[in-house]
Amino acid sequence: MLPKTPIPRSLMNPLEERVGYKFRNSLLLAEALTHSSVSLERKNYPFDNQRLEFLGDAVLQLVVTEHLYRLFPDFSEGRLTKLRTRVVSRAGLKNHASAIGLGGHLMMGRGEDASGGRTRPSTLADAFESLVGAIYLDGGYDEARDFILRETEDDFAQMAAEPEEINPKGRLQEILQAIAPSAPAYEVLSQSGPEHLKQFECRVVWEGLELARGAGHSKKQAEVEAASAALEARLWTARETPRPAAPKPKGRPAPAARD
Protein backbone atom coordinates (compact mmCIF):
# COMPACT_ATOMS: atom_id res chain seq x y z
CA MET A 1 0.00 0.00 0.00
CA LEU A 2 1.42 3.36 -1.04
CA PRO A 3 1.86 5.99 1.69
CA LYS A 4 -0.64 8.83 1.71
CA THR A 5 0.51 12.04 0.06
CA PRO A 6 0.33 14.89 2.59
CA ILE A 7 -2.14 17.65 1.74
CA PRO A 8 -0.43 21.08 1.60
CA ARG A 9 -1.57 23.17 4.59
CA SER A 10 -2.23 26.07 2.22
CA LEU A 11 -5.19 24.08 0.83
CA MET A 12 -6.75 23.54 4.27
CA ASN A 13 -9.04 25.87 6.20
CA PRO A 14 -7.99 26.61 9.82
CA LEU A 15 -10.11 23.83 11.35
CA GLU A 16 -8.93 21.24 8.81
CA GLU A 17 -5.36 22.27 9.55
CA ARG A 18 -5.92 21.84 13.28
CA VAL A 19 -7.52 18.39 13.00
CA GLY A 20 -5.06 17.25 10.33
CA TYR A 21 -7.67 16.24 7.77
CA LYS A 22 -8.71 17.82 4.43
CA PHE A 23 -12.35 17.21 3.48
CA ARG A 24 -13.09 16.13 -0.07
CA ASN A 25 -16.74 17.06 0.42
CA SER A 26 -16.84 20.40 2.24
CA LEU A 27 -20.62 20.08 2.74
CA LEU A 28 -20.02 17.28 5.25
CA LEU A 29 -17.87 19.59 7.33
CA ALA A 30 -20.50 22.33 7.09
CA GLU A 31 -23.16 19.87 8.26
CA ALA A 32 -21.00 18.75 11.20
CA LEU A 33 -20.61 22.37 12.31
CA THR A 34 -24.31 23.32 12.06
CA HIS A 35 -26.16 23.36 15.39
CA SER A 36 -29.85 22.47 15.39
CA SER A 37 -30.76 25.99 16.58
CA VAL A 38 -30.08 27.29 13.06
CA SER A 39 -33.17 25.53 11.69
CA LEU A 40 -35.31 27.11 14.42
CA GLU A 41 -34.47 30.60 13.16
CA ARG A 42 -34.09 29.86 9.44
CA LYS A 43 -37.01 27.89 8.05
CA ASN A 44 -36.22 25.08 5.59
CA TYR A 45 -32.51 25.09 6.41
CA PRO A 46 -31.21 21.91 4.71
CA PHE A 47 -29.37 20.23 7.59
CA ASP A 48 -28.01 20.23 11.13
CA ASN A 49 -25.43 18.03 12.83
CA GLN A 50 -27.73 15.68 14.79
CA ARG A 51 -27.55 12.78 12.32
CA LEU A 52 -23.77 13.05 12.09
CA GLU A 53 -23.63 13.15 15.90
CA PHE A 54 -25.56 9.84 15.97
CA LEU A 55 -23.12 8.28 13.50
CA GLY A 56 -20.01 9.77 15.08
CA ASP A 57 -20.96 8.44 18.50
CA ALA A 58 -21.01 4.89 17.08
CA VAL A 59 -17.68 5.32 15.26
CA LEU A 60 -16.08 6.79 18.37
CA GLN A 61 -17.33 3.89 20.52
CA LEU A 62 -15.95 1.34 18.03
CA VAL A 63 -12.52 2.98 17.70
CA VAL A 64 -12.07 3.43 21.45
CA THR A 65 -13.35 -0.10 22.17
CA GLU A 66 -10.98 -1.67 19.65
CA HIS A 67 -8.00 0.30 20.96
CA LEU A 68 -8.75 -0.62 24.58
CA TYR A 69 -9.15 -4.27 23.59
CA ARG A 70 -5.65 -4.28 22.15
CA LEU A 71 -4.09 -2.06 24.83
CA PHE A 72 -5.32 -4.11 27.81
CA PRO A 73 -5.40 -7.78 26.68
CA ASP A 74 -5.85 -9.13 30.22
CA PHE A 75 -8.74 -6.87 31.29
CA SER A 76 -12.29 -8.20 31.69
CA GLU A 77 -15.26 -6.83 29.78
CA GLY A 78 -16.39 -4.88 32.85
CA ARG A 79 -13.05 -3.12 33.34
CA LEU A 80 -12.81 -2.30 29.62
CA THR A 81 -16.31 -0.81 29.69
CA LYS A 82 -15.38 1.44 32.61
CA LEU A 83 -12.21 2.59 30.86
CA ARG A 84 -14.15 3.34 27.68
CA THR A 85 -16.51 5.55 29.67
CA ARG A 86 -13.52 7.64 30.79
CA VAL A 87 -12.66 8.40 27.14
CA VAL A 88 -16.13 9.01 25.67
CA SER A 89 -17.73 10.88 28.59
CA ARG A 90 -19.37 14.19 27.74
CA ALA A 91 -16.77 16.03 29.83
CA GLY A 92 -13.93 14.32 27.97
CA LEU A 93 -15.41 15.03 24.54
CA LYS A 94 -16.05 18.64 25.53
CA ASN A 95 -12.38 19.00 26.43
CA HIS A 96 -11.30 17.57 23.08
CA ALA A 97 -13.67 19.91 21.25
CA SER A 98 -12.28 22.88 23.18
CA ALA A 99 -8.70 21.81 22.43
CA ILE A 100 -9.31 22.16 18.68
CA GLY A 101 -11.33 25.35 19.05
CA LEU A 102 -14.49 23.73 17.71
CA GLY A 103 -16.89 26.16 19.39
CA GLY A 104 -15.58 29.08 17.36
CA HIS A 105 -16.39 27.29 14.09
CA LEU A 106 -20.00 26.33 14.89
CA MET A 107 -22.97 27.77 13.05
CA MET A 108 -25.85 28.38 15.47
CA GLY A 109 -28.90 30.54 15.97
CA ARG A 110 -28.47 34.01 17.43
CA GLY A 111 -30.33 33.09 20.61
CA GLU A 112 -28.20 29.99 21.20
CA ASP A 113 -25.03 31.97 20.52
CA ALA A 114 -26.05 34.78 22.89
CA SER A 115 -26.80 32.30 25.69
CA GLY A 116 -23.28 30.84 25.61
CA GLY A 117 -23.88 27.97 23.21
CA ARG A 118 -20.33 28.03 21.85
CA THR A 119 -18.92 27.03 25.24
CA ARG A 120 -21.78 24.81 26.45
CA PRO A 121 -20.31 21.38 27.31
CA SER A 122 -23.13 19.35 25.74
CA THR A 123 -22.98 21.37 22.50
CA LEU A 124 -19.22 20.94 22.22
CA ALA A 125 -19.36 17.21 22.96
CA ASP A 126 -22.08 16.71 20.34
CA ALA A 127 -20.11 18.74 17.77
CA PHE A 128 -17.02 16.59 18.36
CA GLU A 129 -19.06 13.45 17.64
CA SER A 130 -20.49 15.11 14.53
CA LEU A 131 -17.00 15.92 13.30
CA VAL A 132 -15.99 12.26 13.77
CA GLY A 133 -19.05 11.20 11.76
CA ALA A 134 -18.20 13.62 8.97
CA ILE A 135 -14.60 12.42 8.74
CA TYR A 136 -15.83 8.82 8.65
CA LEU A 137 -18.21 9.50 5.74
CA ASP A 138 -15.68 11.59 3.85
CA GLY A 139 -12.52 9.53 4.33
CA GLY A 140 -13.52 6.17 5.77
CA TYR A 141 -12.83 4.27 8.97
CA ASP A 142 -9.02 4.59 8.90
CA GLU A 143 -9.13 8.39 8.66
CA ALA A 144 -11.68 8.62 11.47
CA ARG A 145 -9.64 6.23 13.60
CA ASP A 146 -6.43 8.20 13.05
CA PHE A 147 -8.15 11.43 14.07
CA ILE A 148 -9.72 9.93 17.20
CA LEU A 149 -6.50 8.32 18.39
CA ARG A 150 -4.52 11.54 17.81
CA GLU A 151 -6.96 13.53 19.89
CA THR A 152 -7.27 10.94 22.68
CA GLU A 153 -3.57 10.04 22.87
CA ASP A 154 -3.17 11.65 26.31
CA ASP A 155 -6.28 9.84 27.62
CA PHE A 156 -4.86 6.45 26.72
CA ALA A 157 -1.45 7.34 28.13
CA GLN A 158 -3.10 8.26 31.45
CA MET A 159 -5.07 5.01 31.41
CA ALA A 160 -1.91 2.99 30.87
CA ALA A 161 -0.43 4.70 33.95
CA GLU A 162 -3.63 4.62 36.07
CA PRO A 163 -6.03 1.99 34.72
CA GLU A 164 -8.27 1.88 37.78
CA GLU A 165 -11.60 3.65 37.39
CA ILE A 166 -12.28 6.87 39.26
CA ASN A 167 -15.91 7.16 40.37
CA PRO A 168 -16.74 10.91 40.28
CA LYS A 169 -19.98 10.62 42.28
CA GLY A 170 -18.41 8.44 44.94
CA ARG A 171 -15.32 10.64 45.19
CA LEU A 172 -17.43 13.81 45.49
CA GLN A 173 -19.59 12.30 48.25
CA GLU A 174 -16.49 11.13 50.12
CA ILE A 175 -14.97 14.63 50.07
CA LEU A 176 -18.18 16.43 51.06
CA GLN A 177 -19.14 14.09 53.88
CA ALA A 178 -15.71 14.63 55.39
CA ILE A 179 -16.81 18.27 55.80
CA ALA A 180 -20.49 17.81 56.74
CA PRO A 181 -22.76 14.77 57.18
CA SER A 182 -25.19 15.63 54.36
CA ALA A 183 -24.69 13.95 50.96
CA PRO A 184 -24.81 15.79 47.62
CA ALA A 185 -28.18 15.70 45.85
CA TYR A 186 -28.73 15.48 42.08
CA GLU A 187 -31.66 17.25 40.41
CA VAL A 188 -32.80 16.89 36.80
CA LEU A 189 -33.24 20.36 35.28
CA SER A 190 -34.42 19.50 31.78
CA GLN A 191 -34.98 16.80 29.16
CA SER A 192 -34.89 17.51 25.46
CA GLY A 193 -34.35 15.97 22.04
CA PRO A 194 -35.79 12.97 20.18
CA GLU A 195 -35.85 9.52 21.78
CA HIS A 196 -32.66 8.31 20.09
CA LEU A 197 -30.78 11.47 21.12
CA LYS A 198 -32.45 12.31 24.45
CA GLN A 199 -30.48 14.96 26.36
CA PHE A 200 -30.67 15.36 30.15
CA GLU A 201 -29.30 18.27 32.16
CA CYS A 202 -28.90 18.03 35.92
CA ARG A 203 -27.20 19.83 38.77
CA VAL A 204 -25.55 18.69 41.97
CA VAL A 205 -26.45 20.57 45.15
CA TRP A 206 -24.91 20.31 48.61
CA GLU A 207 -25.84 22.27 51.73
CA GLY A 208 -27.97 24.60 49.57
CA LEU A 209 -25.05 25.35 47.23
CA GLU A 210 -25.14 24.45 43.54
CA LEU A 211 -21.74 22.87 42.87
CA ALA A 212 -22.00 22.25 39.11
CA ARG A 213 -24.19 21.16 36.21
CA GLY A 214 -23.80 18.32 33.74
CA ALA A 215 -25.48 16.94 30.63
CA GLY A 216 -25.69 13.54 28.99
CA HIS A 217 -27.82 11.09 27.05
CA SER A 218 -29.13 9.54 30.27
CA LYS A 219 -29.90 10.77 33.76
CA LYS A 220 -27.00 8.72 35.16
CA GLN A 221 -24.56 10.14 32.63
CA ALA A 222 -25.68 13.70 33.38
CA GLU A 223 -25.16 13.11 37.11
CA VAL A 224 -21.65 11.74 36.53
CA GLU A 225 -20.81 14.76 34.36
CA ALA A 226 -22.11 17.10 37.07
CA ALA A 227 -20.00 15.33 39.70
CA SER A 228 -16.91 15.55 37.48
CA ALA A 229 -17.48 19.26 36.95
CA ALA A 230 -17.96 19.77 40.69
CA LEU A 231 -14.68 18.01 41.46
CA GLU A 232 -12.95 20.37 39.06
CA ALA A 233 -14.64 23.56 40.32
CA ARG A 234 -14.35 22.73 44.06
CA LEU A 235 -16.91 25.38 45.06
CA TRP A 236 -17.40 23.74 48.45
CA THR A 237 -14.06 25.08 49.68
CA ALA A 238 -15.77 28.33 50.65
CA ARG A 239 -18.02 26.31 53.01
CA GLU A 240 -15.29 24.38 54.79
CA THR A 241 -15.20 25.04 58.53
CA PRO A 242 -12.46 27.58 59.31
CA ARG A 243 -9.95 26.74 61.97
CA PRO A 244 -10.76 28.35 65.31
CA ALA A 245 -8.78 31.49 65.99
CA ALA A 246 -6.09 31.32 68.63
CA PRO A 247 -7.29 32.70 71.98
CA LYS A 248 -6.18 36.26 72.72
CA PRO A 249 -3.73 36.65 75.60
CA LYS A 250 -5.39 37.73 78.77
CA GLY A 251 -4.58 41.22 79.91
CA ARG A 252 -4.48 42.60 83.43
CA PRO A 253 -7.89 42.69 85.09
CA ALA A 254 -9.54 46.10 85.00
CA PRO A 255 -9.49 47.92 88.31
CA ALA A 256 -12.69 47.87 90.28
CA ALA A 257 -14.89 50.90 89.88
CA ARG A 258 -14.81 53.33 92.86
CA ASP A 259 -17.88 54.65 94.49
Return the active site residues: 57, 129
| Alpha-carbon span 131 to 127, nearest angstrom | 6
Decide if 93 contacts 109 (C-beta within 8 A): no
Residues contacting 108, CB < 8 A, separation 6+: 34, 35, 37, 38, 117, 118, 123
Strands 209-216 and 185-192: unpaired
The CA-atom distances, in angstroms, between 18 and each of 14, 81, 91, 116, 151 are 6, 30, 21, 23, 11
| Alpha-carbon span 48 to 30, nearest angstrom | 9
